[in-house]
Amino acid sequence: MYFLLGTVGTADSTVDSSDISIIEPAAQQLNAIQRWWLSLNWEAITGLIIQKAITILFIIVLFSILVRVADFLVDRTFTSYSKKKTNEVRMTTLHTLIRNVIHYTLGFFFIYALLSTIGIPVGSLLAGAGIAGLAIGLGAQGFMNDIITGFFIITEQQIDVGDYIKLNDLAIEGTVTSVGLRTLQLQSSDGTVHFVPNRNITTISNTSRANMRVLVDVRIDPSEDIVGIQAAIERANQQIVQKYTEVIQTPPVIFGIVDLGNSNYAIRTTMYVSNGRQHKIQEELLSASIHEVSQAGFTIPNSPVVAAK
């Protein structure tokens, strides 16, 4: 009995000593936390939190006002410009672009001011962001070239939706269907839609900004009556003038006989019409001229025209 009691007592004492060895470090850590907690200057901390909160609230209110004022000025400016005869697509694109630039700029300064108020080292973050931005910029160089080129194409009003243009360096031509900051879309006469990155555009030939020339050559036999042929062509010219009075800017003029090479001669007629109508009028003027010359009994040579070497 005594042996058992002694054994039990020894076990209890062993457990108690191991518990104490575990509890003492925890108690010391807890005491350290309590001492740190009690050592805090809560009055100063409360004052600092209130100060930071007021500063952050002021920054939020300030930048909210700046965004509203900027949007108001931009909207008012574009409203005054929209009253003039300007392209609606261009105005909408520029409006959106300028608003986004202002918002991003103000957003950057807002985050900078916010982080500075909180106490985050913004300078170190900007240094790291600068290195990352340089790497991204090198990788996105083509994209930035598209944006910059597209911006100047839009602001300088080089092209509008509906214009018929020629990109000589790319051997592409067609009607513009969309003008964007990154790509230009145009549709060829066969229906093909071309998506052209703005950075590839170097020379734009716009045929929709001024009156376009219509040039028609009617091949003739020089041994026949030249005066009679010219009179027949003049009748065809007058038919076109009566039909397209509103779009003809300068009346058709018979230039005279031109040498096409290799004993091929033609009587040339020139005129200027509103842009976009030149192809149809040229086709009808050529058809009317051939019809009048044939009806007058003159010969239209049908031998192929071979350029002189």
SS3 at position 247: coil
Q: What is the DSSP letter of 186?
A: E
User: What b/e sequence results for 213-230 when a residue is b if at least 16 CB atoms lie within 10 Å of its CB, and e otherwise?
Assistant: ebebbbbbeeeeebeebb
Question: Is the CB of residue 133 less than 8 Å from the CB of residue 164?
Answer: no
pTM for this structure? 0.51
Separation between Cα atoms, residue 117 and residue 58, nearest integer Å: 11
Q: What is the pLDDT of residues 97-122, one digit of tens each?
A: 788 788 888 888 888 888 888 877 76
CA-based R_g, the chain, Å: 42
pLDDT for 1-49, tens place per residue? 334 344 444 444 444 555 555 566 666 666 767 777 777 677 777 877 8
3-class SS of residue 100: helix
Q: How many residues does the chain have?
A: 309
Q: What's the maximum distance between 2 C-alpha atoms anywhere in the chain?
A: 153
DSSP state for residue 84 in the 8-state scheme: S
In this prediction, residue 93 has a pLDDT band, given cuts at 50, 70 and 90, of: low
Q: Which whole-number Å values give the CA distances from 187 to 161, 164, 194, in the listed order?
A: 11, 9, 6
Q: Considering the chain, what is the average pLDDT of its residues?
A: 79
pLDDT value of residue 65: 92
Mean pLDDT of 188-194: 88
Cβ proximity of 191 and 248 under 8 Å = no
For the residues 82-88, what does the mean pLDDT come to? 62
Residue 182: is its pLDDT beyond 80? yes
How many whole angstroms separate alpha carbon 77 and alpha carbon 95? 9
In b/e form, how buried is each residue of 244-277, taking b as 16+ CB within 10 angstroms? beebbeeebebeeeeeeeeebbbbbbebbbbbeb
User: Which pLDDT value is given to residue 79?
Assistant: 78
Which residue type does 51 have? Q
- For residue 29 the two structure tokens come to 């850590």
Cβ contacts of 141 within 8 Å, gap of 6 or more: none
159-174: b (≥16 Cβ within 10 Å) or e? bbeebbbbbeeeebbb
Q: Has residue 290 got a pLDDT over 80?
A: yes
The position carrying tokens 């350029």 is 307
Q: What is the DSSP letter of 263?
A: T
- Residue-level pLDDT at 194: 92
Q: Determine the average pLDDT of the residues in 222-248.
A: 89
Whole-number Cα distances in Å, 126 to 121, 123, 306 = 9, 5, 69
Alpha-carbon distances, residue 102 vs 73, 95, 144, 148, 243 (angstroms): 11, 11, 18, 17, 53
Give the whole-angstrom CA distance, residue 59 versus residue 51.
12
pLDDT: is 276 or 76 the higher one?
A: 76
Indicate left, alpha or beta for 169 from its phi (over 0: left) and psi (-120 to 50: alpha). Answer: alpha
Q: Where does the pLDDT of residue 195 fall: very low under 50, low under 70, confident under 90, or very high at 90 and above?
A: very high
Q: Which of 256-260, 277-281, 304-308 has the lowest mean pLDDT?
A: 304-308
Residue 236, pLDDT above cutoff 50: yes
